[in-house]
Amino acid sequence: MTAWELAESFMTNRQITDDSKTLGCVLKALHTAKITHADTGFKGTQLKATLKLDGEQLAVFKPKWYNRDYIMVGTPYAGKDRHNAEIAAFHLNRIIGLHRVPIVVGRVIDMESEIRSVAHRNLLQTFYYKDGNTCFYGKCYYCKGPDTGVCGTGTDMEGSVTFWLPDSYRLSKPEPHPWRRTYRDNKPAPWEHEKNYCQRVRATRPYESRQRLLDLIDIAIFDFLAGNADRHHYETFEYSKDSAVIALDNGKSFGNPYNDEMTILAPLYQCCMVRKSIYIRLTELSGDIIGQILYNVLADEPLRPVLTSHHYTAVDRRLAKVLQVITECQSASNQAEVVIDDLE
């Protein structure tokens, strides 16, 4: 099998999701494969580029905006996407046993020798130079010209490369997240003030199916551990009736290791449900274990260090808070009604 066939299997077959040799092969290919074509990124608010790698494999490149020790302040969803957050989020997601995030690796790309010669004119038109560095501003909602662009160091640009599944695994139209934010300070979302909001969600499709709701709670726990308060939409596989929720776009994670945004956990503490398999895995990782595992995994990343020590401490602290919320739910209800068997 080629590296891309292995990647496809890794993303779609849970039986081999923990095969480190398979994953290592795919990560190496994403990190080193020749770039045969480059263009502006897919639709969205954030700057990115679309790459085609040797073997016709598509990937998404998100450039570096911030240094590792930059602390994001302001709203819980402030700032631009962070390439190192995409990398760390992928590994955190598989550590907790979800396997819902596309494969990501770090890579330094020479914008002149690797991109310019194979770039579509749409992308080339956004190239510019500043202080001797190669820069681009791409095409997106916030991409308005050189003032909104990003620059490399000389011709080198650091970023994350995300594996894109082949067309045979098409994603559904993005679904609005029931617990999405309004992004307006003076306009709270319904879930922020309705006492019985979860019951209202459960009365609507597709959330009358407990599985879909449990999926969103899985993702809420993952997002809280990573500090991602920007999950406004979600995707599933188009042709799979029972498809799990896919967690794309994790670039707003790991912004402020000193802030634990509890509202991210609203699906958990308002519905008081959690999958038994995830609950067991979280308890196994408690007691300052999850941060150490994430540190050990990221120690092999090409762009190491991916996070600062404060982020590993934050993940440990946040996991303790997740388990405390579950304990409080159990105290207020029957334990069997909170921890849900995966087969039910």
Q: Which residues are catalytic?
A: 230
DSSP 115: I
Q: How far is CA 106 from the centre of its chain?
A: 14
Bond prior to 305 in cis (omega within 30° of 0): yes
Helices (H) and strands (E) in the chain, counts: 11, 12
- Answer whether 128's CB lies under 8 Å from 137's CB: yes
H-helix segments, the chain = 3-12, 20-32, 83-95, 121-124, 197-202, 210-226, 266-271, 276-285, 290-298, 309-332, 335-338
* 56, 57, 63, 67 alpha-carbon torsion, rounded to 10°: -140
85 burial type by CB count under 10 A (0-12 exposed, 13-18 middle, 19+ buried): buried
Burial class (CB within 10 angstroms; exposed 0-12, middle 13-18, buried 19+) of 1: exposed
Distance CA 176, CA 105 (A): 28
Q: Judge whether 199 and 267 are in contact, CB under 8 Å.
A: no
